[in-house]
Amino acid sequence: MLNTRFSTALHTLLALLLDRDGAPLSSQALARVFDSNPVVVRRLVADLRAAGLVVSVRGAGGGIQPSKGLREVTLGAVARAVDFEPAFDVHEAAADAPPPSEHIHAAVAAARDSAHAALLAHLDQVTLGDMADSANLRTELAALIDKGLSHDDIRQAYRVAGAHLVPKVDR
């Protein structure tokens, strides 16, 4: 079974941070964003709150708010908050397995642990702001493609500036 807690946590934080009016969002409203159950969202938010990434606002109009800005939260922090799992798990070696089996198990586990550490190190270098910028560019690119521009047309006519596609100025 695929674990989507990490991607759901990223989506939750981005939904909170990119919300235009800044008002707290309820778990019901967040659940609608990714077609989930509010109970699932509340469990996820509890982990994000424990990590200091969100705060809960009580009372009428209450809900969940981010506690940090887009450029302050790394994907690594989010991964650790939701107990991000390694890319693959390692089977248990049988108790009566011949000696090479025990060492193979240890070697596979070491490879997994090394890969997981490298992934977390990479995620520590990427902020939610970087993700928002990427989503912005993709949205703008999709709109240009929908207008009928080819990839070559876009490359020739636009450049990236401030996480947006802007027309190149002829000189």
pLDDT at 163: 84
pLDDT at 171: 43
Between CA 21 and CA 33 the distance in angstroms is 16
Q: Give, rounded to a whole angstrom, the gap between the first and last alpha carbons of the chain.
A: 55
Between CA 154 and CA 131 the distance in angstroms is 22
User: Which residues contact residue 166 at a Cβ distance below 8 angstroms, ignoring those fewer than 6 apart?
Assistant: 158, 159, 160
Domains in the chain (CATH in brackets) are: 5-85 (1.10.10.10), 86-126 (no CATH), 130-167 (no CATH)
Quick: pLDDT tens for 114-131: 999 999 999 999 999 999
pLDDT at 20: 65
* pTM of the predicted structure, to 2 decimals: 0.82
Low-confidence ranges of the chain (pLDDT < 50): 171
